[in-house]
Amino acid sequence: MDISHWAELAAFLGAGISMGFGAIGSGIGEGYTAEKACEGIGRQPSAAGDLLRIMLVGQAMAETTGIFSLIVTLLLIFQNFSQASFIQIPAYFSAGLCMGAGALGPGIGNGMTAGKACEAIARNPETAPLMMRIMLIGQAVSQSTGIYSLVVSLLLIFVV
């Protein structure tokens, strides 16, 4: 096998790791948010509209690192391997590992934040506007590590 085949193998392994771990984090976070929204609606049916809104926004935030993982996965799969160098072999694999592992925390953390916001609204529906603001600020800070992982992954794919 020549270098291009090894680079392709590393990129495909990295792509699988990126998408696999990225989907785990987002899936757990989104599921937790939906669970807490359903519990909240069961306790406080009159707050269903606010809970639905918080749930959907929270799930969208939890999904973003999954989208970052998908982008890295597609970039790795569709690379031109014909001119690959030896150093790109670990770079491609590391890009996938970086994005996949970097997506776990924000995906789960954003979902937990949204789930707790749903719990709070179910206890006290008047806090819905405040909970939305607090949730989004917390999720934005949590999301930063996923963005760092995306940037490093892109650098490993295109600069190395």
Whether 6 is in a domain gets the answer no
Tell whether 4 is covered by a domain.
Answer: no
We report the CATH number of the domain holding residue 73 as 1.20.120.610
DSSP letter, residue 84: -
The number of domains in the chain is 1
Q: Give, for all 160 residues of the chain, the pLDDT tens digit.
A: 799 999 999 999 999 999 999 999 999 999 999 999 999 999 999 999 999 999 999 999 999 999 999 999 999 999 999 999 999 999 999 999 999 999 999 999 999 999 999 999 999 999 999 999 999 999 999 999 999 999 999 999 999 8
Q: CA end-to-end span of the chain, whole Å?
A: 21
For residue 2, is it within any domain?
no
Q: Are residues 101 and 21 in contact, defined by beta-carbon separation less than 8 angstroms?
A: yes
Q: Domain limits at 26? A: 15-158
How far apart are the C-alpha atoms of 115 and 147, rounded to whole Å?
Answer: 22
Distance CA 135, CA 132 (A): 5
Q: What is d(CA 44, CA 58) in angstroms, rounded to the nearest whole number?
A: 19
